[in-house]
Structure 1
């Protein structure tokens, strides 16, 4: 792993390739994104990495000994915690024309041919990093909203319990107050309509 360690605001990138030169090239192109880069030299290693931590995007070589990129992608998509992780397939220039179709069929978000344009690769990865950050932000906002709703529900339960203990008189008083509030709102709304 190079770069920073993963935190809540950082989006790790998984680099999967059996060739050291390719991993070095990917790291040099993506280093300027200032996000944690995690290496995997095989499909099996990639699966272990995905079980340890979440990733914003996976850059996956198609041709690897043992579990190739297609099988790795297929297994990634079956992992509950990683099934929505975007995969960018990387493939050599002499690849079969059906590789792109097969890549998309196994869940690839994109497909690049080596040698790739560093600017294009960095731009594509940046898009997935932004999406990852926005998703994390939405998840945190949703968690805060759910916490607030839980507090409101607890408070309403407490009020309901207090009203039950107060008996019918307190409910009648509260009902009268609600009726006056409704009348005031109706009057206010009728005044707006004029």
Structure 2
């Protein structure tokens, strides 16, 4: 006989036939733990990340003016961000060299993601300003989000939860290892 809520030695919801995916690690993001206290360089995680270890910081690749990092709170596995090293918040504040490298690294990130994960498509974008959805508005960042058919399921809508099939450390390793092996001069094998 199934114990009732009062008889249970453990805690949790009553038996109701649903399986639950517990994602307590998301509470730090929801609570704002990793959000900077202000928009200064000293508070900016995107300014601190390149100063540390690539594995620890989830850095996939480095250029002269920009770098590529995994999103700590990804929408999908392989969710990359391309950022300038310089602390700028507005796309129009990038100089020509930063703009060109950001574009080249974004293109390469798409090619590498295709080679490693074979997604069906991508969302690419910059959320300019807090009102536009930028989690850290003070430091410009370009999102590269691989997408697969059916990857948008009920969990994000109903449970504010995203199921990711791979650990961030494994994702970073796979993408970083492939970064220098993907040839940008070869025509992509995408469908037109």
TM above 0.5 = no
TM range (shorter): under 0.3
| TM norm structure 2 | 0.25
Q: Kindly indicate whether structure 1 or structure 2 has the higher relative contact order, using CA contacts under 8 Å at least 6 residues apart.
A: 2
Q: Of the two, which has the highest radius of gyration?
A: 1
| TM norm structure 1 | 0.25
Structure with greater helix percent = 1
